[in-house]
Amino acid sequence: MATQFEQRPEDGSVMLPAATIAGTRYGASNREAGNAIHNASTGEVIGWQEHADAAQVDAAVRAAQAALDAWRNRTPASRGKVLHKIAESIAADRARLSAMQQRVSGKPPLEADTDVSDAVATFNYYADLCADISLFATDTLALPDDTVTGERQYEAVGVAALIVPWNFPMVTSAWKIAPALATGCTVVLKPSEFTSPVEHLLAEIMTAAGVPDGVVNLVNGSGEVGALLVAHPLVDKISFTGSTAVGRKVMQAAAQDMKRVTLELGGKSALIVRADADIEHAVALALGGAFANAGQMCSATSRIIVHDDVYRKFMAIFEAAVRALVIAPPQTENVSMGPLVSHAQRARVQALLEQGVADGATIAFSGALDNACTEGFFMAPVVVAEPDTANVLWTDEVFGPVACVKSFRTDDEAIALANDTRYGLVATVVTRDGGAARRYRNALRAGLVWINTPQLIFPQVCWGGLGLSGIGRELGLAGLRSYQELRHCIASRG
């Protein structure tokens, strides 16, 4: 069986085919159609990926369709066994997966390693759910009419198109592939053009772990390839993670055939620090919430809302912490933050920052780049104080290391500030008052609220948001159900 991934031993460069369909690699029909892969820490070109054309996208969907019956007719336990094996194989290949993420995204080793652990946990979680036959079996319903019987059935939706961005390539792909395979769906995955070597490694691992040909197919390319995939009439379900702007296009395309959609989109989330909070702890949470993954997180809590009484203390400790961040290439000792993923993403973030400052936002303090950051897509973290609520840095998803801090006097004011957004993905509250924490939890418009914790994520806990943050939930039982159709049957006893 062909391998999906080719790394040249002489220089470590990666060469990615346009598509991997039913275990076979396909080159691009037009060799010019493709893009260079960069090392985000050095800017150096480390490889090339070819792009699929319309015929290859079609072939990938048809391969998934052809493999569907055999895969969904397996017992859940048999699919679970394959998922367990994938989890085991990812864990065994941790070093290679972590190194590739560090190379293409510049993630610090700890962050790259955490992503691998998250993928392992996700495959194990859905593998374990496969052992619970009640999630897949037909069950009977008690109906208030003894002349009939009622039955409920869950079945695989069918062929799923999975489109993922570049910020957490291991994680977003695992969050989609694991529940899809658990239910008996087959998939076509389109990774981001910036980080696709990670998914190619993952695909190679899945093939070796016993995923049958055609169950997981991969097409490379930019948004055009994604658009071809979502428009394909044989695709039954789309799971998309990315920007709200593209999410809208995906939903419009899905409407044509009434395809099922799960959309995990942007955010502009808040972290609230009450006057009773442990301020050192609040700063640690603010640091992680705003600057982990260089701020390139849909869940970034980039609007930090701090009580007046502790504002000065918070800002002093926060400033010292931001200045102490080691912003450097992944191999640097004690590195705490890496580069942005691409030249284009850094330019986009810097343009938003300039726009915000031109409109009156004040930069309170910034971090500093390590001397090793001579090349690559690095950007020092920036903290803006008391921006106007109409300022672009307060309203828009920046997706980079820019955080805003605003003060408040009453809980109602803090809640109003936090909810002053059309997004609604996550929120963090830092307080020692349990009653206040519960009031915030109930009042904040967010799919997930963390109270005094870092951004902990477990496969058991659903992920997804309100409003412009998307539709549906990934992970947890809802994540599994999102790849199933529900059918009921009422039959006469006679």
Binding site for ligand NDP (CB under 6 A): 163-167, 190, 192-193, 222-223, 226-227, 230, 241-243, 246, 249-250, 265-266, 298, 348, 397, 399
Task: Output the CA angle 144-147-148, nearest 5 degrees.
Answer: 75
Instruction: Report the nearest approach of ligand NDP to the CB of residue 222 (Å).
Output: 4
Nearer to ligand NDP, 178 or 188 (CB): 188
The 10 Å Cβ neighbour count of residue 47 is: 22
Give the CA distances from residue 232 to residues 101, 119, 173, 184, 243, in Å, rounded to whole numbers and listed in that order.
30, 28, 20, 20, 21
Nearer to ligand NDP, 245 or 320 (CB): 245
SS3 382: strand
Q: Which residues contact 229 (CB under 8 A, 6 or more apart)?
A: 57, 60, 61, 161, 163, 188, 190, 219, 235
Active-site residue flag, 474 = no
Which single residue is written with the structure tokens 């799960």? 262
Instruction: Report the nearest approach of ligand NDP to the CB of residue 253 (Å).
Output: 7
Instruction: Report the nearest approach of ligand NDP to the CB of residue 74 (Å).
Output: 29
Cβ 332 vs Cβ 388: under 8 Å? no
Instruction: Report the nearest approach of ligand NDP to the CB of residue 400 (Å).
Output: 8
The sheet with strand 270-273 has its strands ordered as 362-366, 382-385, 402-408, 303-307, 270-273, 426-430, 448-451
The 10 Å Cβ neighbour count of residue 251 is: 18
Nearer to ligand NDP, 168 or 314 (CB): 168
Nearer to ligand NDP, 193 or 236 (CB): 193
Nearer to ligand NDP, 89 or 455 (CB): 455
Instruction: Report the nearest approach of ligand NDP to the CB of residue 274 (Å).
Output: 28
Cα(154)–Cα(134) distance, rounded to whole angstroms?
10
Cα(415)–Cα(43) distance, rounded to whole angstroms?
42
Cα(314)–Cα(280) distance, rounded to whole angstroms?
8
Instruction: Report the nearest approach of ligand NDP to the CB of residue 250 (Å).
Output: 5
From 111, 264, 397, 474, active-site residue: 264
Task: Output the CA angle 251-252-257, nearest 5 degrees.
Answer: 90
Helix or strand run (H / E) with residue 117: helix 109-129
Nearer to ligand NDP, 207 or 239 (CB): 239
| Residue 187, strand partner residues | 160, 216
At 457, give phi and psi (nearest 5°).
-130, 130
Instruction: Report the nearest approach of ligand NDP to the CB of residue 393 (Å).
Output: 13
Cα(199)–Cα(206) distance, rounded to whole angstroms?
10
Nearer to ligand NDP, 76 or 165 (CB): 165
For ligand NDP, the nearest residue by Cβ is: 226
| Residue 491, strand partner residues | 149
Catalytic residues: 264
